[in-house]
């Protein structure tokens, strides 16, 4: 029971659990309550679109945590995480396409609309199985995981690291983007997958379904949070951080650097896939532009803004950057790229530890002052 008491008694841990519970109450209880219980004209009322918007941010937060696991804790800057996110999204999108059945524009029960449009006669083999939710849910994790495993095994084994790895992962997502743009691939080409009707029988246009998806995303984010905490607190997590800080030394000590990186990369890809699968039902579309290299680089900036190598940082960063994006693209669209670009420069130059680091620095200074 040592580890349990350790978890609860350490003052840092107590703070963690307090924060975790507070965030859980905020997202799990307060937001739904403000949405459902308050009248629509109340100043505190959270409108439906806002619930979906927060749900989207929560998906981004999961994605940022996944990125943080591999970059913040293991030092591997993947610029292809958008690909894993998109693959997860496509997997669930395929399930939702199949569940449209004969309700499409062409009313064809056997084929999705875009295949009818392309004059295809039968379902390609890789669409088989996506009629079942359990299969799609498995694929949401298995496809990004398998791709990351194979790709990572090839890359880490031959010691491709640093900027090389970043470039190669960027090429990977770029290649996937080009591939998914092709109509012949059978994933809807340019338009991607859309016009979803329902998921597991729940009508996607209903507010209750949206609320359900939102709550599910919150729970998954909480679970991801605990998982990342568990992994990074474990011995494996310690080795991961050692790989980040001094890779050669870890290798000389006899650890399998390849194995550690591969574990972090694959787990991270699986988490990114899950984030994508939660994202697509909420936004109602998945198309190849999700694979674009720019998207993947943006994930890195969420993590950097929040603070990499910290538990809370990625969540903070994902909310801060995307909140700013939503607000600025509405208020002054031409300024958004300036702001994003400046953010990249500012964070790397002045805030290497992100918002969390800034907060910790301020706290340290305050305690120092009070000690004087």
Catalog residues that contact another protein under the rule CB under 8 A: 77, 151, 154-155, 157-160, 162-164, 166-168, 170-172, 174-175, 178-179, 181-182, 248, 293-294, 297, 300-301, 304, 334, 337-338, 340-345, 347-349, 352
Helix axis angle, 313-331 relative to 354-371, nearest 10°? Answer: 120
**CB nearer to another protein: pick between 197 and 325:** 325
**CB nearer to another protein: pick between 40 and 345:** 345
Report the alpha-carbon distance of residue 26 to residue 24 in Å, rounded: 5
Task: State both tokens at 117.
Answer: 């449009």
Phi-psi region of 107 (alpha: psi -120 to 50; beta: other; left: phi over 0): left
**CB nearer to another protein: pick between 27 and 90:** 90
Least CB distance to another protein at residue 154 (A): 5
**CB nearer to another protein: pick between 31 and 356:** 356
**CB nearer to another protein: pick between 18 and 294:** 294
Report the alpha-carbon distance of residue 278 to residue 316 in Å, rounded: 19
Report the alpha-carbon distance of residue 41 to residue 47 in Å, rounded: 10
Residue 308: strand, helix, or coil:
coil
Least CB distance to another protein at residue 333 (A): 10
Least CB distance to another protein at residue 336 (A): 8
Residue 372: strand, helix, or coil:
coil
Give the closest residue to 271 by CA, choosing from 97, 130, 71. Answer: 71
Check if the beta carbon of residue 92 is closer than 8 Å to that of residue 281: yes
Least CB distance to another protein at residue 170 (A): 6
Least CB distance to another protein at residue 341 (A): 4
Report the alpha-carbon distance of residue 228 to residue 68 in Å, rounded: 9
Give the closest residue to 101 by CA, choosing from 212, 198, 243, 190. Answer: 198
Least CB distance to another protein at residue 221 (A): 24
**CB nearer to another protein: pick between 93 and 293:** 293
């Amino acid at each position: 029971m040592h580890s349990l008491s350790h978890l609860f008694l350490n003052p840092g841990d107590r703070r963690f659990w307090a924060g975790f519970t507070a965030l859980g109450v905020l997202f799990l209880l307060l937001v739904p309550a403000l949405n459902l219980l308050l009248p629509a004209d109340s100043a505190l009322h959270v409108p439906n679109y806002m619930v979906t918007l927060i749900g989207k941010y929560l998906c981004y937060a999961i994605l940022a945590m996944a990125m943080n696991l591999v970059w913040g804790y293991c030092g591997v800057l993947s610029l292809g995480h958008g690909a894993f996110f998109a693959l997860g999204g496509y997997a669930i999108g395929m399930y939702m396409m199949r569940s449209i059945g004969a309700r499409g524009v062409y009313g064809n029960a056997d084929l999705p609309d875009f295949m009818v449009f392309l004059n295809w006669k039968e379902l390609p083999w890789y669409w088989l199985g996506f009629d079942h939710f359990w299969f799609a849910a498995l694929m949401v994790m298995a496809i990004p995981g398998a791709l990351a495993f194979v790709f990572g095994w090839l890359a880490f084994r031959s010691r491709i690291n640093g900027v090389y790895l970043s470039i190669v992962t960027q090429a990977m997502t770029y290649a996937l983007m080009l591939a998914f743009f092709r109509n012949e691939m059978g994933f809807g080409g340019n338009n991607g997958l859309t016009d979803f009707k329902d998921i597991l029988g729940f009508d996607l246009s209903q507010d209750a379904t949206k609320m359900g998806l939102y709550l599910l995303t919150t729970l998954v984010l909480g679970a991801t949070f605990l998982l990342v905490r568990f992994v990074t607190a474990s011995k494996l997590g310690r080795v991961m951080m050692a790989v980040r800080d001094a890779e050669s030394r870890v290798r000389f000590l006899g650890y399998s650097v390849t194995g550690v990186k591969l574990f972090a990369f694959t787990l991270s890809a699986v988490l990114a896939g899950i984030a994508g699968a939660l994202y697509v039902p909420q936004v109602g579309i998945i198309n190849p532009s999700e694979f674009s290299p720019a998207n993947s680089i943006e994930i890195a900036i969420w993590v950097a803004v929040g603070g990499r190598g910290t538990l809370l940082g990625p969540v903070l960063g994902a909310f801060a950057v995307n909140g700013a994006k939503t607000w600025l693209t509405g208020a002054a669209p031409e300024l958004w790229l300036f702001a994003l670009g400046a953010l990249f420069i500012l964070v790397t130059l002045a805030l290497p530890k992100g918002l969390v680091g800034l907060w910790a620095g301020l706290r340290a200074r305050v305690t120092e002052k009070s000690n004087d």
